[in-house]
Amino acid sequence: MKVKVNYTMAIEEVPELIQDILSSLKQSITLCNSHLVFNPNDFGKMASEFKAAREKLEVADAQIEDVLNITAGWLEATRPQAEEDEIDREIINEE
């Protein structure tokens, strides 16, 4: 089961939070690698391990989206409006 958690923190602590989330993401993705083992002699176990990897990757995907959203909000709160407009233009041009 997955849940979304919201909490309040000082704005200067946000980059450290993002780094912590990214560190956890990297560990989780590395752990997924250990679940992806071809084992046709025990297909049930292989299927179970693949399912566990997929579940971890699903959470990782949501956490990546969280990091992007948190970073966007942090940038909006810490950068002057002129810089925000430039970032928005760059994002639009990339799409």
The tens digit of pLDDT for each residue in 39-64 reads: 999 999 999 999 999 999 999 999 99
State the pLDDT at residue 83.
59
Between 31 and 80, the higher pLDDT residue: 31
Tell me which amino acid residue 71 is.
T
| Helical H segments across 2-42, by residue range | 14-35
> How does pLDDT run across 59-89, given as a tens digit for each residue?
999 999 999 999 999 998 988 765 566 666 6
Measure the CA–CA gap between 23 and 15, rounded to whole angstroms. 12
Confidence (pLDDT) at 92: 73
**pLDDT averaged over the chain?**
88
